[in-house]
Structure 1
């Protein structure tokens, strides 16, 4: 089932944009003068997921081309290589990017991904790679795709609970403090002791 989920997510990513090369040719690709100048994932913060709730993750891809920027894309992936048989996790956007013109040659594209803890498992916690790409304006379709532009940490959420008793506390009397540290388990979709 995990393999089917990865392949389905990857297929969705491929269908979303003309920027993504077929999986058999999944290598960095540059055509023309298009350049990526920065990629920011989740505002520069780690991605922390609980057990069931999806979380919207924003990725911004900024770049330049003499003709300007038309479209951007980004995919988060976990595995040895960006090829279906080497992937064990993919988070792809369900919709197209929204690009904003900064000036005649520069654009910033915003991509929103729904990170779903039900589509990943404990073994995928850690560093994920960011595939990023930009498509330039014009007929030549200048573009750039970088399979591993940067990495981002995807972490299991943790909870700490603490309680002191008895309440109210009386001066000079003993109190008992109890607590629990639990962490999201993506395999069982429950919080468990840590």
Structure 2
């Protein structure tokens, strides 16, 4: 579930009654989406690190006896302009003996947030809740996914960079938010941030063309190319400007590229430089990457030197 964190401020009770549907009454994707909406509404409303820290709070869920640890996620998630991107997360859920993680209306899952935990700029959830396997009577190993849909306007270019990991759990305990006898104080909710981190990066592309082909030994070879990256706001690729890019060469029959020189992409991301032809081989451009944009190498372009 992916909703930019600008939902209207509502109370925790209203958020739960408006969004939540027990898993027993809906498929996994629907119930988890509602739990994610609940989480975001709760954060926007209260700025608390959990929906409620008071078990006896009137009109709020009680603090579920559950914590999260051993959060593991890929170091970087590369997101383009249109295709869905998923990354797997594993974590440990520790819970009280009174928490039934096998109940049909219990859900848990990981999420990512950009910015402050109490007031995040953006959040990313998975389409489905995590699947958990009990390891002891009070611990479980859980595996879930974060699903990113760049074509659905859920990311801004400014969102690229470091995101932090978190997890939540919700136990409806048989309560139906749509029912007349719904009692929100019987619903449990747990939420924990700063469990880990990853980079959400704008997918990069790099091209190269060395010409003329063939070329006489001692003559000039012109090597052009372009460094571009995903723009999440118009779903196109634009040049990545003023970035250092290495021109590398691999001699025919060798498996190793060596750096010839380093140049910078221009105001449109284009690359252009010249070298002197000496022997048959392959030219490529190589970009080391930044925190917002992954490293990328162009496929080598062969030049026949005569």
TM-score where L is the length of structure 2: 0.49
The change in CA–CA distance for 1:135 and 1:90 in structure 2 (over 3 A counts) is closer
Q: Higher mean Cα deviation, 62-71 or 183-192?
A: 62-71
Distance in 1 separating the partners of 2:131 and 2:222: 54
Name the SS of the counterpart of 1:192 in structure 2. strand
Aligned counterpart, 1:161: 207
Aligned positions of 1:146-157 closer than 5 A: 146-157=192-203
Aligned counterpart, 2:35: 16
Aligned counterpart, 2:23: none
Whether 1:130 and 2:152 are equivalent positions in the alignment is no
Whose Rg is larger?
Answer: 2
The change in CA–CA distance for 1:103 and 1:134 in structure 2 (over 3 A counts) is same
Give the drift of 1:158. 1.6
* 2:85 aligned residue (32, 55, 59): 55
Aligned counterpart, 1:45: 75
Higher strand share: 1
Count of matched residue pairs = 183
User: Over aligned residues, Cα RMSD in angstroms?
Assistant: 3.5
Name the SS of the counterpart of 1:177 in structure 2. strand
Distance in 2 separating the partners of 1:87 and 1:133: 15
Give the unaligned 5+ runs of structure 2. 8-14, 20-29, 54-62, 102-106, 175-185, 241-306
Give the unaligned 5+ runs of structure 1. none
Q: Higher mean Cα deviation, 144-153 or 115-124?
A: 144-153
Aligned counterpart, 1:119: 154
The change in CA–CA distance for 1:96 and 1:81 in structure 2 (over 3 A counts) is closer
TM-score where L is the length of structure 1: 0.73
User: With CA pairs under 8 Å and 6+ residues apart, which has the higher RCO, 1 or 2?
Assistant: 1
